[in-house]
Amino acid sequence: MTTSNPDGPPVYPLSRQGTFVSNLDRLRQTSDAVADAFRGIRRAADAHGPLEAKQRELCLLAGFAATRNEGGFRVHCTRATEAGATVEEVEQVVILMLGTTLGLVPVVEALSWARDELG
């Protein structure tokens, strides 16, 4: 679910966690210009190629799980479900990482983040 932002692009809910601060917000505390440039890169990457929003979000979740980026993973759990992904699809993306780039502990961590956000 997005909300309107009269001064710019849509605002997405970041996390179900009450005290969540995104990495982009943290970057913006140092430089609005760099944060805006990063958002521009992400918009261009989203627009490049044929993947639907759900597919893109599931790919991003795999990347965030692999790098143990909790903040990015939490944000994109919400975005993945908004794009039509089910909780089971999110969980499968994480479980598929087991034995590829992730061991047991990071997979269990990412599953707990998904359950926090989507449960």
pLDDT digits (tens, 9 = 90+) for 27-37: 999 999 999 99
| Residues 72 and 65: beta-carbon distance below 8 Å | no
Please provide the DSSP assignment of 62-104 as one string.
Answer: HHHHHTT-HHHHHHHHHHHHHTT--HHHHHHHHHHTBTTTB-H
Distances (CA, A) of 76 to 31, 33, 55, 88: 23, 23, 12, 15
Q: 20 or 26, which is more confident?
A: 26
Taken in order of first residue, the domains within the chain and their CATH numbers are: 17-49 (no CATH), 52-118 (1.20.1290.10)
Q: What is the model's pLDDT at position 101? A: 76
Assigned token pair, 4: 């309107």
Query: Does residue 22 surpass a pLDDT of 80?
Result: no
Question: What would the two tokens of residue 59 be?
Answer: 């790919």
Q: For residue 5, name the pLDDT band (cuts at 50, 70, 90).
A: very low
CB of 116 closer than 8 Å to CB of 16: yes
